[in-house]
Structure 1
Amino acid sequence: MLRAYRSDDVRQAEAPLLERGVPLMDRAAAALATEVIRRVRALGNRVPGTEVLGLVGSGNNGGDVLFALARLARRGVSASAILTGTPHAAGYAAASRAGVRFADAGTLRSLAESAEVWIDGLVGIGARGPLREPALEIVRELEEVRVGRPVEPLVIAADLPSGIGADDGTVPGLALRANVTVTMGIAKPGLVLDPGRRYAGEIVQVPLGLEEFLPSEPALLSVGARDIADMWDVPGPDSHKYSRGVVGVMTGSLRYPGAALLSTSAALAGGAGMVRYAGPRETSRLVVSQHPEIVTDMGRVQAWVLGSGVNMDDPEAASEVARRLQESITAGIPVVLDAGAITLLGSIDVPSTVVITPHAGELAELLAARGEPLSREEIAAAPSRAARLAATLTGATVLLKGSVDVACAPDDPLWAQGGAAGWRATAGAGDVLAGLLGSILAQWGDELADLGKGHGIPARLAAAASYIHGRAAAIAYGTGRPIVASEIAGAIPQAIGEALASTGE
């Protein structure tokens, strides 16, 4: 499980190590230089003679780059540096002794045009807001050079690409896009969250021994394959269909019958012991014809999926969704609210056992109803903030869908899941995610009902569902082709199986 920490937490964790004399900067510089050498060799180039341009700010990131340049120069690299302020004194001295050439901003373009590698150390993790001069002009000129080069340079960021928010991934202005980010000590949220992660490239984490000094609760977590066994209920010899979780599904309509089929397909594929379908009679026939395992008689359920494809303009349908939501809240049963059903939270507060699954447009509509208008573009620019705001205003757990899915409850850590193939963004994929999430919530339904509150569990399960959904999309995508939502649902069992196999299950 990836754990990311705020920049203030990282700096505080570094302090006791620095007091002990631990050479953190030397370790960081060694890792940075090693990564440059490894990447140069991977491109089939010789290290001696390779031109490397260091972009050096006045902070510790700049010091890391100076010491790295010194190491590279001693290996025969042709190393140059552009300084944007007063450099780290010891790093400057080491680079000077090693023969690193220092140039002024007037030579930036010519150096950038010839260097095979750029190392970005312009600003550190403590920077806030958009880039300011002289870093702003340097990044602007570098991006112009990059576009004009026949072969793009390899850009390696030290700790964080310059211009992105370390704690939230926001990009309030220009930022220098990296191919690789060598992050020191521990990951930062801005490397995981959109839109910042799009500038980070491949993430290489350098252990510095900070772990024992970091807070027990990270700012952000991300589920990996090896975490799934702790969240998915793997049946044992005494399991039966009721102990494995029963999902109630009220989705679909005459207008959108496919939503019923997709959500129930995913609920079945997610491993629930039973799926009860409570949608319109016409869609019931469709669902049962495709999945004879579906039960249409109502009885005990341990989670509900409400809203996908439901016509909320139909008073009868909207009233039925609202009734099931209120009954579930009273009974402590977890609920997934998708699509139009999310609008029910425009005027009511709910516990965190209610999970809403909006995309940016649906979240904008909900926030406007709550008196906190944000445009779709503003949400996309800072999705973690928007998701946390919605959770705080409604009490619900929010799973904000995007290229990086963000999940959070009002007070618990943020979860972020990225890396899914772009082809996942297809009609019906959200219906599949809602059904899959309902399946895993049902497996935890009795425990959540006993607890009476979410205690962060629904957000963690939402992240797990997002991870499996992304893996299923990758399996359906295969070697690279368009996919449809039904293929994602069909690949869910394989995605779960592969994740469980990674832990020896």
Structure 2
Amino acid sequence: MHVLTSTEMKEIDKKTSTDFGITEEVLMEQAAMAIVGEIQKDFNKNSHLLFMVGTGNNGGDALAAARILHNEGYENIEVCIIGDENKGSRLFKKQLNTLKQFGFLDFFEFNVDFKNHVSTADCIIDGLIGIGLNGNTNDLIKGVIDIINTFKRGKVLSVDIPSGINANTGEIMGNAILADKTITFGSVKLGHIFFPGREYSGTIKVAPLSFPKSLFNISHRELVTPEMVKKLLPKRPKFSQKYDYGNVLILAGSSEFPGASILSAIGAQKVGAGLVKLITPTPLSSYVLNHEPGIIYKSLMKDKFSLKDFDLISKELKKASVIVIGPGLGRSDETMQFVRNVVEYSRVPIVVDADALYAVDSLSLRKNIVLTPHVGEMKRIVRTDEINIRQNYEYTEKFAKHKRATIVFKDATTIITNGERTYFNITGNTALAKGGSGDLLTGIIAGLVSQGLDVMEASIVASYLSGRTAEIISDEITEYYATPLDIAKNLYKAISEVLNV
């Protein structure tokens, strides 16, 4: 599913009419029918429905829905128009006139009694602004939104996007409607998937309408879905053996951070890698064997990696299908030089995480390398305080293109991009906001690369599976209790779910 900016959606809307002959009126009627469908799922003909309507096309959608429900026998509908009707859009005026022609009379003005209408409504339909908001909400709209959020008793259904949410960033523009459900048209918008817009949108429903599918190629950004992940999951034919599923080499750990390397190794093993070899400076054999005896383990019997270790592992580098480097390494100068040598020497795919990110920021990378920073690491490796890097998909795309690598920017909404194509993963919860979850993800990515996926495909699948597993087990043991090891041991649940989509 494509993820659109407001400009892209408006262009699709326009071309659907000009190039394909499907008029704006037809699209608005279809949008209204979709709104009606969502209302009818939850509310009967006696329910009190309060339509809050702006004077743009978003308001026109809401008015058309009110007219259809009125015609269907819903008897307790009220409409409040916010703004000057005479300055409304062409379609708003047309829908208002049509609603009146159907005999609808229950309009009321925004006044001191407004909170009483809000507090008695079973469903408030938010058709105030939509995706066209450019600046902060004005004082009138702000007052309306404050009363709705404060005094609502029933549910709120937003049309296209909650009023007050920036459709391109998810930011609150002054204030915003806190919706229980949002019905959007064509495809999701960026403001639906980034916080706080994602939280304010509630449950998101997408009504496809009659937009030609080809027009959505205007966007190079997509939402990761179960269907996408199922299609990408590596196949496991019966006539195969372990060498068909690759050799993951993990260079990780130090005396200070021994556990990170184990999580990476377990992650690679649990998603099907044929062989997983873990090389650490510090002895960890008992810990590795206790968690997963199938992992091949070697210790260099020292505190940390150094440049001279490169020669000791050169044979392993040549055997590897994919390399993981970074988790728990530490950042000593000699370790950083070791990392740079591995990255420059090796030609196989490499997953670079944690401390290794600081070693490669000056290197010229290549398309089969993936960097997996969290927010703090991303801030440090881009070396800029001039912009807010969090949820900044455009800057992340530019950075990936500059580095000529794939970036997995880990956050509540994870951005996966090579600068040309971008994917957003929205699975996961606060169970992932714990040390070790990134190390696990690194191993999962590598385990999937070893089975034939490219680094972008593996990053998509790994991010989804890690996040979805966190959601599944949190329902069982809570987000507080779940650990990265719990997620690793339960990855099969998300994989099974995807296979049954």
Q: Name the amino acid aligned to 1:15.
A: K
Residue by residue over 1:179-222, the C-alpha shift from the partner in whole angstroms, topping out at 9 and shown as x without a partner, is: 11111222222212333211111111112121334142534322
Partner Cα separation in structure 1 for residue 226 and residue 411 of structure 2? 20
* Gap regions ≥5 residues in structure 2: 299-315
Residue of structure 1 in register with 2:405 after alignment: 396
Retained in 1: the 8 A contact 2:160–2:183? Answer: yes
Residue by residue over 1:251-310, the C-alpha shift from the partner in whole angstroms, topping out at 9 and shown as x without a partner, is: 222111111111100110111111121221413553245433222472511211111111
* Aligned pair partner of 2:104 in 84, 95, 98: 98
Relative to the length of structure 2, the TM-score reads: 0.86
Where 1:221 maps in the other structure, the secondary structure is strand
106-115 or 319-328, which deviates more: 106-115
Residue of structure 2 in register with 1:448 after alignment: none
Partner Cα separation in structure 2 for residue 52 and residue 157 of structure 1? 13
Q: How far off its partner does 1:479 sit?
A: 2.9
Residue of structure 2 in register with 1:206 after alignment: 207
Residue of structure 1 in register with 2:486 after alignment: 487
Does 1:409 pair with 2:413?
A: no
Cα 1:127–1:442 change in 2 (3 A) is same
Retained in 1: the 8 A contact 2:242–2:274? Answer: yes
Does 1:25 pair with 2:44?
A: no
Q: How far off its partner does 1:354 sit?
A: 1.8
Retained in 2: the 8 A contact 1:72–1:79? Answer: no
Cα 1:89–1:179 change in 2 (3 A) is same
Residue of structure 2 in register with 1:352 after alignment: 367
Retained in 1: the 8 A contact 2:288–2:297? Answer: no
Q: Name the amino acid aligned to 2:45.
A: V
* Aligned pair partner of 1:34 in 27, 37, 41: 37
Identity of aligned residues (%): 26
Q: How far off its partner does 1:226 sit?
A: 2.8
Cα 1:56–1:460 change in 2 (3 A) is farther
Does 1:467 pair with 2:464?
A: yes
Retained in 2: the 8 A contact 1:355–1:399? Answer: yes
Q: How far off its partner does 1:435 sit?
A: 0.6
Where 2:255 maps in the other structure, the secondary structure is coil
Q: How far off its partner does 1:363 sit?
A: 0.9
Q: Name the amino acid aligned to 1:431.
A: D
Residue by residue over 1:350-385, the C-alpha shift from the partner in whole angstroms, topping out at 9 and shown as x without a partner, is: 2232212122111111122xxx3257xx334x3423
Partner Cα separation in structure 1 for residue 80 and residue 186 of structure 2? 24
Consecutive aligned runs of 4 or more in structure 1 exceeding 6 Å deviation? none
Partner Cα separation in structure 2 for residue 374 and residue 395 of structure 1? 23
Retained in 2: the 8 A contact 1:415–1:459? Answer: no
Where 1:32 maps in the other structure, the secondary structure is helix
* Gap regions ≥5 residues in structure 1: 41-45, 147-151, 446-456
Partner Cα separation in structure 2 for residue 141 and residue 216 of structure 1? 40
* Aligned pair partner of 2:437 in 429, 443, 446: 429
Q: Name the amino acid aligned to 1:139.
A: I
Query: Where do residues 176-195 of structure 1 align in structure 2 (5 Å cutoff)?
Result: 176-195=177-196
Q: How far off its partner does 1:436 sit?
A: 0.4
Residue by residue over 1:59-104, the C-alpha shift from the partner in whole angstroms, topping out at 9 and shown as x without a partner, is: 1111001111222334212312132233411111133332231313
Query: Where do residues 220-259 of structure 1 align in structure 2 (5 Å cutoff)?
Result: 220-259=221-260
Partner Cα separation in structure 1 for residue 458 and residue 484 of structure 2? 21
Q: How far off its partner does 1:460 sit?
A: 3.4
486-495 or 50-59, which deviates more: 50-59
Partner Cα separation in structure 1 for residue 48 and residue 473 of structure 2? 42
Partner Cα separation in structure 2 for residue 137 and residue 31 of structure 1? 28
Cα 1:232–1:17 change in 2 (3 A) is closer
Where 2:420 maps in the other structure, the secondary structure is coil
Does 1:134 pair with 2:144?
A: no
Where 1:350 maps in the other structure, the secondary structure is coil
* Aligned pair partner of 1:125 in 112, 131, 144: 131
Q: How far off its partner does 1:338 sit?
A: 1.2
Q: Give aligned pairs, total.
A: 468
Cα 1:434–1:207 change in 2 (3 A) is same
Does 1:418 pair with 2:437?
A: no
Cα 1:357–1:135 change in 2 (3 A) is same
RMSD: 2.4
Where 2:283 maps in the other structure, the secondary structure is helix
Relative to the length of structure 1, the TM-score reads: 0.86
54-63 or 292-301, which deviates more: 292-301
Where 2:188 maps in the other structure, the secondary structure is coil
Q: Name the amino acid aligned to 2:489.
A: G
